[in-house]
Chains A and B, each alone.
Chain A
Amino acid sequence: DQQVKQNSPSLSVQEGRISILNCDYTNSMFDYFLWYKKYPAEGPTFLISISSIKDKNEDGRFTVFLNKSAKHLSLHIVPSQPGDSAVYFCAASLTNLFGNEKLTFGTGTRLTIIP
């Protein structure tokens, strides 16, 4: 049951251009969305998040957009840099009664920035 889907397993972008990574979800109860970046042999690193009450959150070169009606979110990286090459995971959260989160991850998109 893939509640969070990243349909593009890989993406190549020229350095300096915009990278757009997409994510779709099926569970309308998700209330928090996150993007994680993962390098080989390392754990996922938090990048940026957005609450379901917002439609945009920006942090430096990274912007996340949320379209609740379409159950779609996207991560924009501009300008793309070689160090951005990594696997990007979209994750969705359903805060439970205990106040903590269980993250449901997508399958990831491998981003390669071409110098």
Chain B
Amino acid sequence: EPEVTQTPSHQVTQMGQEVILRCVPISNHLYFYWYRQILGQKVEFLVSFYNNEISEKSEIFDDQFSVERPDGSNFTLKIRSTKLEDSAMYFCASSEDAGELFFGEGSRLTVL
């Protein structure tokens, strides 16, 4: 069964460092998303991406964040200068159309 894959599964970084989280969405999907879940809190929408551009982003997705689809398969989330409060589980998701989203297993980011 096709699945969304994410790397790394866990990354530990120092505050102020840049982090790139990688995702390989399901191959025939056209819509891509990043969500995050801070420990003990709800899953929050960060950004959606379609046709090589951001279609929607939340207030959380400030100038420190960027997304890119550098080739035909990868979808990346970059955090330019990490803060302590960026520590969370980051989930990539993709969908074929307006319907169910398929989530990856998540990348845990720990900022020290």
Contacts and interface: CB of A to CB of B under 8 A. Distances in A.
B100 A49 contact: yes
A102 B48 contact: yes
B56 A102 contact: yes
Interface in B45-66: 45, 48, 50-51, 55-56, 58
A100 B31 contact: yes
Nearest to A94: B56
A62 B69 CA distance: 36
A101 B95 contact: yes
B43 interface: yes
Contacts of B98: 32, 93, 95, 99-101
B45 A104 contact: yes
Interface stretch (A21-29, A38-46, A65-73): A38-46
B92 to A, nearest CB: 8
A27 B76 CA distance: 31
Contact of B50 (A89, A98, A103, A104): A98
A114 to B, nearest CB: 24
A63 interface: no
Contact of A98 (B41, B45, B55, B58): B55
Nearest to A48: B100
A4 to B, nearest CB: 8
B56 A103 contact: no
A46 B102 contact: yes
Contacts of A41: 105-106
Given A42-B105, A43-B91, A43-B103, A98 B43 contact: no
Given A36-B103, A96-B48, 14 more contacts: A32-B98, A43-B91, A43-B93, A46-B102, A49-B100, A101-B48, A101-B99, A102-B58, A103-B35, A103-B43, A105-B43, A105-B44, A106-B42, A108-B42
12 contacts: A44-B91, A44-B103, A49-B99, A100-B48, A101-B31, A101-B98, A101-B99, A101-B101, A102-B45, A103-B43, A104-B45, A107-B41
